[in-house]
Structure 1
């Protein structure tokens, strides 16, 4: 099914709502959390959402991907053609609030250009607005080069530590959230809005090793406050696409043992998203435990080969269970995600014996041709 197709059930629901309350009254109200029925109707009208977390191979992080001087539509077009050839229907892509502050109109224009490229390849987009992982001190302008042999050495948080802990910057975070979503709130090229990636991640094995200097005290508590507000801000834009934030630690078997952050994520999300970098048995537990919410499930991060999280059989399981699936990484490049997480403790002097993430070399050659064939078989059989 083309990503240009606006889900029929959602259009009917919107028309029915307008008939009941009128457009003026509707605009004055923040959209409420979708019911499970609304969420499942949205999901039923889409193809199987399968794809990757996409960052072009020429960008070390979100800032380098989107800033005017380094935005690279030629590489994006070439690499998304490879995604189309795999049968991918959706990609998850990170944004950054400093790009909005730097040049909101230019940033929105580049987002629109990116969506046009993706749509030309039959691919929809899930945008991620905030992220608590990796470097807590982002800076606009030219980005540093990757640290040799170190996983994701230049990825940056949004908001970084200074903006996160400064109440005076909250208006910027709100304006960014409302502004970006409002611009694309009825755009069928946008599949979903992932409001905050791993909000309670304190980067204990990387920047968190020296928390006094790198990660601010009270980060989790402050992030929880802003996570809750981000759902309110996003709903005030009345998006036609679902909102979500994905749980990422454990398998969530006992609802009474959820953390405060997990409760907000699961109680506020229109569709349930989660991460798992574990083998099939644990991925199966995640799915079984999250079924209790009665909403569509999307695994927005998986696939770490040395951990046992591999396309075969994990992606096949997700397809059988009608669970959306986005692997981490796509084309090896400046993000250095072919290296494992432990490279933060011991950088690799050469290419690792098994790639951690990513599917293609920069020239489009598959890392493992048998993986590409497996993915293509699954996507060719999708409804």
Structure 2
């Protein structure tokens, strides 16, 4: 039988809320071995961030069946971001009484967890799921949930994980941009050099963003939709890629790239009257080829480059635009996952 954690709340003059933990018996299976202090302590280091992945999933699916309503998702994530968690080997004290966990509002807002005490009630089979659900319970009290509402929310989280699996936090470095600095000093009139440098630098960058972007499409998105700028960064990379393929390479892809690139500016090829091309325009063009999601900034402008007259500064401007997009993406990833 699957084990379920229940938190019972005691309120003491709005100073703190405290939880005791009860857990059922698994019936003598091999899963009954208690989780170790090392297991629990390690899990607690990422539980809050993993709870945010559950929130992102609910935002993406527009889940309206929860006791936590969509207009409270951001408030819960803010509570997670702004509330320190104190992990200790001793009981959490409230008015002289000992508890396994407590959410304090005074003298400062914190969540206390007695990791050593939890080893007596959590097993190697259930400890990660139960810790995440317990944290959901605790954080919900910071939003004003009463005990019945907090338990209902805790059960919502457990049920969602039963159906969709545990929201494992992805481990990866942030996106690097440094190597593209070599493109800033590139001689753009040297076709072989442009081809080799682009292949080494920009294609590597594109694959790195794509691998992270694929995680955004999973059950547990790594970013909430309000901070999803993966498409914006990919559009910048692929726009530069289309430009390079169209004008600095001689391959079968060059003809298609040149056709796509010129069609973006087909309204007028006069330098002074050339049509303004936005991220939305690029997404519509490349979306057919690459299955893009919508960019966050659909009106962001993309610069036209006239290859016969190209200057290093023009290409530098394109790279600066890309760098800004990657910087925002890295900032959002850092806030969501670390």
Task: Quickly name the TM-score band, shorter chain normalised.
Answer: under 0.3
Q: Which has the larger radius of gyration?
A: 2
TM-score normalised to structure 2 length:
0.23
Of Structure 1 and Structure 2, the greater helix share is in 2
For CA contacts below 8 A with separation 6 or more, give which structure has more relative contact order. 1
